[in-house]
Chains A and B, each alone.
Chain A
Amino acid sequence: MRGIVGAAGYVPYRRLERAQIASFLGSGGGKGTRAVASHDEDTTTMGTEAARLALRGAPGSAPDVVWFATASPAYLDKTNATAVHAALRLPNEVPAFDFGGALRSGTGALAAALCAGGIGTALVVSADQRDGLPTSSDEAAGGDAGAALIVADDGPGAPVVAEFLGGGSATDEFTDRWRTPGEQRSRVWEERFGETRYVPLGLEAWARALKTTGIDASSVARVAVTGMHARAVKALAGKLGVAEGALADDLSASVGQAGAAHPALVLTALLEDEARSQAAGEVPAGRVLALIHLADGADVTVLRTTSALADWRPARPVAAQVADGAALPYGKYLSWRGLLELEPPRRPEPPRVSSSAAWRSEDWKFGFVGSKDRSSGAVHLPPARISMKGGAFDEMDPVPLADATGTVVTFTVDRMAYSPSPPIVFAVVDFDGGGRFPIELTDVDADAIAMGDRVEMTFRRLFTSDGIHDYFWKAKPVRAGSKAGG
């Protein structure tokens, strides 16, 4: 039996209220909110955060391969999955590959992982950051998020919680939505054309999937339909022949359509919801779930829940993250997206990161691994060779602290230092179990931090210079959403 053994979504902290767009510009926007990646996030960091949560919720699984899918890659040429791999501190025999470019790449990676039993445990990470020109429907309807699915054969350490029954696809070449490399905005053809293509393609793929799995539409308990073409998604959902109430929330009202990551994000939310219901005894194991994604065709994935689902403890459910967001003013959103350039602090921009220096400190920079003196127990961040307590030389063990929580000892707000989004909020953090590091805080308002606050680590992009992204860790407040499930 092969299927999903773990899953997590990552929804960034900030939300743009769509109504703000019209009040700012006189048009555009809509109802609800969309999730917005922080100025220090990109698809690589959001995917990494999702993967961290997925692995935390499936502690018995060990990835044999990492696949990363996005339509907004932080790099071209250079693999982005390697940064995810490094932040997760996976062994170097585990390959890391990108599925690049297209909105269909997320479902493609998932389908490949589900069908290819020989590859072992696949960590399928996807993330997307959706842009649009101010007032466009893409701006309002898009969303930023990451998702990670762990696909594996059933095993005692990591049982399959949703078994893969089969799927179906329909592929067609037509130009409904497109973007040439380097462009920030997508362009779309007349909406009706896409709808008349997507709905029949969706029904074709749906019929194939039902035939392959031998399942009747009426016995599908829950189905999620995703895709950037909102009209087609809605129209198709009404024609599937599933029972009333089977249709899952596609998160478009709260998160927005997160492109290549959206199918995995919605599927994760669906699995988490099902797990909660099953654990509460509201639904039995063995229910059939389906995911349909419309992008240059249609892809259907059919899963059946197992009894292990009730015992699955998601590290941080999507619903909790959705509920945890904080409003971001539209002007700030525009500046974060580079659509509105603000006066920077009159300080030099940081120089580019040294490639060789970054490589030497990979464990520290990407994994947040310090060193601990065996005799004194003193923790050194970054890792050191001679102990600050007792002076022992090369008597240290690595101490990974990316998953540690800590307490703010003291803090400051730097209004003059260079930052892509000033001011910098900076704190001295003492980690539970030992170690101190002075570090930048993120996802926090400057006036809402206090000594004694609890923080956790998050993987971020500090800045970009000469086209090289500087990835490192920051601390962010431990919030209610993060406490759910530990």
Chain B
Amino acid sequence: MGSHGIRDQVAIVGMGCTNFGEQWDQGLDDLILDATGQTFNSSGIAKGDVDAFWIGTAQSGMSGITLARPLQLEGKPVTRVENYCATGSEALRAAAYAVASGAYDVAMAVGAEKVKDSGYQGLNANNPPGDGTARTLTAAAMFSMVAPAYGAKYGVDEDQMTDVLATISAKNHYNGARNPRAQFRREVSKETICASPRVAGRLGVFDCAGVADGAAAAIVVRAEDAHRYTDKPIYIKALSFAAGSGSGLIDPDYDYTHFPECELAARDAYAQAGITDPRHQLAFAEVHDCFTPTELVLMEDLGFAERGTAWKEVLAGTFALDGELPINPDGGLKSFGHPVGASGLRMFFECWLQLRGEATPERQLHSERTLALTHNLGGYPGEMVSFVSVVGSELD
């Protein structure tokens, strides 16, 4: 028994990502064809040369046919996966393991979501029939309970907390303004953020991820084959996943100031990748900033800051684009947008661009470090799934 990982066994050799946003003129199939088309082009691999496919979508389609029909795949193994908002990461995880196992030579992971056809604001889950006793709260409301709990525990008063959360939001908008694919490509002042209408608890509109349509995709091969397709492959150092038991919701010991599932996933990923000091070893990280308090707490769960200090680090600019450890250089869920099934792969796409030096110059990082992290979660405080990956541009 053990979690051994597949460090340096698998490489990403092609990626694509659509623009995220309100794509009224793009159906799910169009989004999929856009993302997969970019991926085939960037890798030089034709769809017929891909041996197996995984399509991650939370609610936009069922079964592998969701991918097989638009791509007109004939008799290929195509599987649909779903794992809340970590769905896109789950697709990549499956494809990477399939290649690492030796079962396939070339595998593709696609994440896609058509959110904006529902006609409703925010994200809406299609839950199975139930007894009518389940919560009907929005995710914003569940995550809004984190900020006051964190503030009370660590002595951050309401004004300070408002400033901290606005700093996170402004930073992600600043980064997104430098990303041509992002849903919101403009900087937003902290004043505007603080004055935005409340959605849930103290969270305003600018504390919440953008709700967007979009798709992203990746092709993975064995590491030793990577240079057949690209000079600059991205190697998978770690893939970890932790599903909570849901007991945080009913466990009086849970205090809403941390996400144990994320701590566990990070610990496993760092062990797989041989990382001992993430803050000083990673060039940057893409984290699941579904709401601003989520990003705050993740800085501690992922080991980027000591418990109770992330709020100070946020204010000190540690996680800004020019900071010590840039977080969400692509704008994150906040600014890039959150097409549920695509988001996990979108995070890898930023790693793909940044580690290859292909991000737009305004946001391209110039770090000597060659490792990056993606963190993708789904669910709510107390009832969460969490994914952490580490990727790098060099073999160890």
User: Which residues of A approach B to under 8 Å, CB–CB?
Assistant: 345-348, 350-351, 353-354, 357-358, 360-361, 364-365, 378-382, 388, 409-419, 424, 426, 428, 430, 434-438, 451, 462, 470-472
Contact = CB atoms under 8 A, between A and B. Distances in A.
B245 A410 contact: no
Interface string B105-129: 0000000000000111110100101
Contact of A414 (B130, B140, B245, B254): B140
Contacts of B69: none
Contacts of B251: 378, 388, 436
B137 interface: yes
B241 interface: no
Given A357-B129, A417-B137, A437 B120 contact: no
A417 to B, nearest CB: 5
B201 A416 contact: no
B131 A424 contact: no
Interface bracket on B = 35 or more
Interface stretch (B73-81, B144-152, B174-182): B144-152
Contact of A416 (B138, B145, B245, B247): B138
Nearest to B148: A410
A350 B136 contact: yes
A365 B131 contact: yes
Given A354-B130, A415-B198, A462-B132, A435 B250 contact: yes
A381 B201 contact: no
A381 B138 contact: no
A40 to B, nearest CB: 13
A18 B360 CA distance: 66
Which of B132, B245, B249, B251 has most A Cβ within 10 Å? Answer: B132
Interface in B285-316: none
11 contacts: A346-B121, A347-B120, A348-B118, A353-B131, A382-B133, A409-B252, A412-B142, A424-B136, A426-B141, A436-B254, A462-B136
B152 A451 contact: yes
Given A354-B130, A361-B131, A462-B132, A415 B199 contact: yes
B131 A412 contact: no
Interface in B165-207: 198-201
Interface of B: 118-122, 124, 127, 129-133, 135-138, 140-142, 144-145, 148-149, 152, 198-201, 245, 247, 249-252, 254, 256, 382
B201 A412 contact: yes
Nearest to A427: B145
Given A388-B247, A426-B141, A462-B132, A414 B149 contact: no
Contacts of A411: 145
Contact of B200 (A382, A413, A438): A413
B236 to A, nearest CB: 33
Given A354-B130, A357-B132, 10 more contacts: A346-B119, A347-B120, A410-B148, A412-B201, A415-B198, A415-B200, A424-B141, A426-B137, A426-B141, A451-B152
Contacts of B133: 361, 364-365, 382, 472
A466 to B, nearest CB: 12
A12 B152 CA distance: 34
Contacts of B140: 414, 416
A347 B121 contact: yes
B148 A416 contact: no
A365 B130 CA distance: 11
Contacts of A361: 131, 133
A472 B132 contact: yes
Given A346-B120, A380-B250, A357 B141 contact: no
A239 B121 CA distance: 63
Contacts of A436: 249-252, 254
Contacts of A348: 118, 120, 124
Contacts of B200: 412-417
